[in-house]
Amino acid sequence: MTRRIRLARLTTVEACQALLAIEPLLVPQDADLLEVVRRAARQPATRLIGVVDGAGRLVGVIPVTRVAESIVARVVPESLLVDVADMESAAHFSHSMEDRVAADIMIAPASTVPSQTIAAAFRAMHQRHLGGLYIVDEDGRPTGYLDLLELAIVYVQALADAAAGGDPDAEGAASDPTD
């Protein structure tokens, strides 16, 4: 493994956050879904919406696809019926018809801290199938947003730097930059 690739793996979330400078997209738990969609449309680079409580602490997240599905379920429900194949999917579909506020569709919070490595942040996103994570302070209040694309840029740049430098390990390392 090259020094640059090792460095990319050890880079902190704080250092990586500035690459794309994507602002957090935060909504209160009681935000109407139509307002959530409007806010998401104004900030399309954010793939994960943060849901905060009255004290500003992260209490959940909403992938943009989830909020879109809830809106589509109300407007054109037949478009989602193709996914109803069993009782579990039927129950999920019927709940989508009832969703009205952010708290109805949020999932468990997805966050990291500034001192965490981007390798650990990537693993968290990958395990939860999310396109981003919120960076939170010690009180759980969002201070930033880390996007999956930011992580990819750090890794790709490290691999490109290693390959350009004629590093013999660069080719092998490129096949699996997340080890």
| Whole-angstrom distance, CA of residue 127 vs CA of residue 130 | 8
Query: In Å, what is the CA distance from 52 to each residue of 34, 73, 133, 141, 144?
Result: 17, 24, 14, 8, 13
| Complete domains list, the chain, with CATH | 3-63+106-174 (3.10.580.10)
Give the pLDDT confidence score for residue 102 in this predicted structure: 95
| Whole-angstrom distance, CA of residue 133 vs CA of residue 49 | 9
Look at 131 and 68; give whichever has higher pLDDT: 131
- Please write the tens of the pLDDT for every residue from 137-170: 999 999 999 988 877 877 777 777 777 875 544 4
Entry pTM: 0.75
For residue 63, list its beta bridge partners. Answer: 48
pLDDT at 127 over 60: yes
- Please write the tens of the pLDDT for every residue from 30-49: 999 989 999 999 998 888 99
Three-state DSSP string of 29-49: CCCEHHHHHHHHHHCCCCCEE
Q: From 52, 14, 19, 55, select the one nearest 144 (Cα to Cα).
A: 14
Helix (H, G, I), strand (E, B) or coil at 6: helix
